[in-house]
Structure 1
């Protein structure tokens, strides 16, 4: 009785069923030509050939050249047309044709090193408009930092053998994979609200009969995975599992099932599964986060960033004293890539620079970007973001007291409002005269604080 009800008593079933005690093994393997092999010596041969091809391929020798990219520092080591240095371009290289009379060869020739900005005057004649926009959106460091070859396939842009292996493997498989199977994520299937045993059947490790029509079925299945919602995908998985079950009943018990009976079983199974596994009712308790004034003689800097266009961001900056009085509000417009965390870092850099120019010595900084605070504390990033964060740390050393912390959106709503309200074509900086809408939020924050 227990084995028959094994699906309802999973622990007991796994413990008692002898076939579940077997070690995991590869029972079949597909070669590069699409043929299946079931013999052990054939499987071993395919595995050996596969790894020999990967580690003896010519791509291994220039994997650094193909996968790595240059992070722009002062630009003195990067050749404009020879190196990969465009971070948001597929190939990473400049595609604009080099004119015969062009004497610029290094990226440093494109930078105004006095202002630490790109020299826009020479861009129009050198690059296509799309590439010029992309280059202008690359933030430059305010310090004279060296260019660095980074590995963009890792989160912190540091090279790892693991990601290099995947890079080589994906390049090899990309030539073999058909358009119908590219980009299919099995994670999406495992997230379906159906029985795990039904999903396991259709995973890459499941049982697949060697029939001629299996490729056509997979083409159809992968197309559905890319287009249908999770509810429809759940129905597809359960129906396929029922088809396999009926096939086994026909082979081993000579029991025939009509298509309507199969569909009815699938429907009842899914309804019963959903009724036995209801989604938990999550009760969300909203916690009101208020702006808190800084301590003593400290000043508080709140920063935020919002995207204005494809390559432009508006930064929100607000500085208040310990009684909640607004000292400065700013909404500079900058060119930056489509990276929210990087834009938040640029807002932090702008805010610290303004606070330095105003002569503030003790400052507390708040942002609603938690990843920015984590990166500040971690400091192991090699990307362009690291350059900006290094500028921020250099600026922080000019204060007698500096503190960076995270707050929720409600605690940062003034900077957020400035970012949204000042969506103007030009940058706006106010020192003593502020819009009434801004002053209204300042007053609300003071009334809601502990002052």
Structure 2
């Protein structure tokens, strides 16, 4: 890959083109830039908590209704967030939520002699980067001890990280800005022009009379329709007496809206917090129709009756959603798959994980074969039980990569039957997942190979690795076979080849 320095003049020209495109320039018409370029480019998260996260931010008396609502909802975020352990230096054993599989993630073991500020790092051996097994088993109830010992640790010593406990990806909304919450609700659910309108009105980037007067474009900022109050976005969409009939058509709209919103963002926050996504979309779509009606009246064009706005918005949104429904594609069952040998220039490495309820443990199986289907190496390894199957499959993949490197393999194709792990490795995903640290370990070690590829296969192609994993139920540690496999697994190898 080549890198070049761009001349400053070229950069300015590119920025100018972007600005013109954003604000809708055309050959015949110049458009007003309602938001400074610096404002468009800056991070939008640091107004109320520039030096901390939203979880530590203090409530401000000058904050808007929307921000106070977000601050008030932090308990909901806290209930769903857990710590993913890296070094354990940022996580308190008794005070923080860090146990996987628990409803609240908190420790329930008594620990009477432990101070509240003691960190999880005190349970980790820094030299071996492993849990202090005896200490954990002595301090915690057996069930919690098994959960702790099943949390994977990374030799890279990554930082501890907050993740969302209720999604496989571990993703959660961090910033809480009204326009970002809006984006979550509207993504792929309303036309792009309405999403653009919502962004502009949240950023006070509409050509209202207040904005035009501030730029000395018009002499008066008083609303041309009611002739009583300055026309800002909130007035044009909500407060003007001439459009009251639009909102009175639906009783739930007045019931959902905050009593005295200070801005359009405050008004919007009330609809976003009602818990019914379709209502929030109806409100934004109706606001877009009202703004278009305001422009039609201003320029003397035919306009919609005020009392028909909400019904038109509902029909418009329904038609849009209906158009997004794709015709179902007939499902064709794939032909039964079978393990295939690799190309002659590399080795194929299959891996799998197995879980055993009694005893509560897990295991990993790995088999390495050449292009003739001959076994170059095999591994059965017992590991502590993890909370999620995906965590175990990620550990199985890591074990396979480590085993290949120990045998001096430089060109390898890795196959596994857990799609979420393979897809995360292929697409750089899983940053916030519970197995994210393990994925990063795999990526780091994989960079050593001259050639490496990760492929998802069905379980039928992974029978040998599965059998090796199940064989580890009765062993402790690792058991390795070179150029051979156990007698009871050899028929599965022959079946794959023939």
Relative distance call for 1:83 and 1:360 in structure 2 (3 A) is same
Which is further off, 109-118 or 433-442?
A: 433-442
1:291 aligns with 2:339: yes
Equivalent residue, structure 1, for 2:461: 411
Shift of 1:404: 0.5
Report if the CA contact (8 A) 1:363-1:401 is conserved. yes
The answer to whether the 8 Å contact 1:153/1:163 transfers is no
Residue 367 in structure 1 maps to residue 422 in structure 2: no
Are 1:321 and 2:390 an aligned pair?
no
* TM-score normalized with structure 2 length: 0.51
Whether 1:113 aligns to 2:126 is yes
Maintained 8 Å contact 1:73/1:141:
yes
- Please tell me whether the aligned partners of residues 154 and 163 of structure 1 are also in contact (alpha carbons under 8 angstroms): no
Rate the CA distance shift 1:119–1:422 in 2: closer, same or farther, 3 A. Answer: closer
What does residue range 433-448 of structure 1 map to in structure 2 within 5 Å? 433-447=484-498
2:80–2:104 CA contact under 8 A, matched in 1: no
Deviation at 1:378, TM superposition (A): 2.9
Does the aligned pair in 2 maintain the 1:72–1:384 contact within 8 Å? no
For the 8 Å contact 2:351–2:364, the answer to whether it is kept is yes
Aligned mate of 1:68, from 78, 81, 101: 81
Q: In structure 2, how many angstroms separate the alpha carbons of the residues matched to 1:295 and 1:434?
A: 22
- Whether contact under 8 Å (2:382, 2:472) holds in the other structure is no
Give me the whole-angstrom Cα distance separating, in 2, the residues matched to 1:57 and 1:348.
40
> Following superposition of structure 1 onto structure 2, how do residues 36-51 of structure 1 map, counting pairs within 5 Å?
none
- SS of 1:436's equivalent in the other structure is coil
CA contact (8 A) 1:139 1:384 kept: no
- Taking only aligned residues, the RMSD between alpha carbons, in angstroms, comes to 3.0
Report the CA distance shift for 1:136/1:441 in structure 2 as closer, same or farther (over 3 A). same
Q: Determine the structure 2 residue equivalent to 1:98.
A: 111
Matches within 5 A, 1:195-344: 287-309=335-357, 311-344=360-393
Cα displacement string for residues 35-75 of structure 1 (whole angstroms, at most 9, x for unaligned residues): xxxxxxxxxxxxxxxxx999759852444433321110111
Deviations 1:326-377, CA, capped at 9 Å, x for gaps: 1111121111324222211110000110111111111111112222111212
1:216-235 Cα shifts (integer Å, max 9, x gaps)? xxxxxxxxxxxxxxxxxxxx
Partner residue in 2 for 1:385:
435
Q: In 2, Cα distance between the equivalents of 1:401 and 1:100?
A: 53
126, 135, 139: which one pairs with 2:152? 139
Segments of structure 2 that go 5 or more residues without pairing to the other structure are: 1-64, 179-329
Aligned partner (choices 389, 403, 426) of residue 476 of structure 2: 426
Shift of residue 291 of structure 1? 1.5
Q: Which residue of 1 aligns with 2:290?
A: none
Tell me, what secondary structure is at the counterpart of 1:376?
helix
TM-score, normalized by length of structure 1? Answer: 0.57
C-alpha distance in 1 between matches for 2:146 and 2:333: 44
The one-character-per-residue Cα deviations of 1:250-309 (angstroms, maximum 9, x if unpaired) are xxxxxxxxxxxxxxxxxxxxxxxxxxxxxxxx9975623222112123111000112112
Do the aligned residues in 2 keep the contact of 1:86 with 1:92 (CA within 8 Å)? yes
1:402 equivalent in structure 2 = 452
Which residue does the alignment assign to 2:172?
159
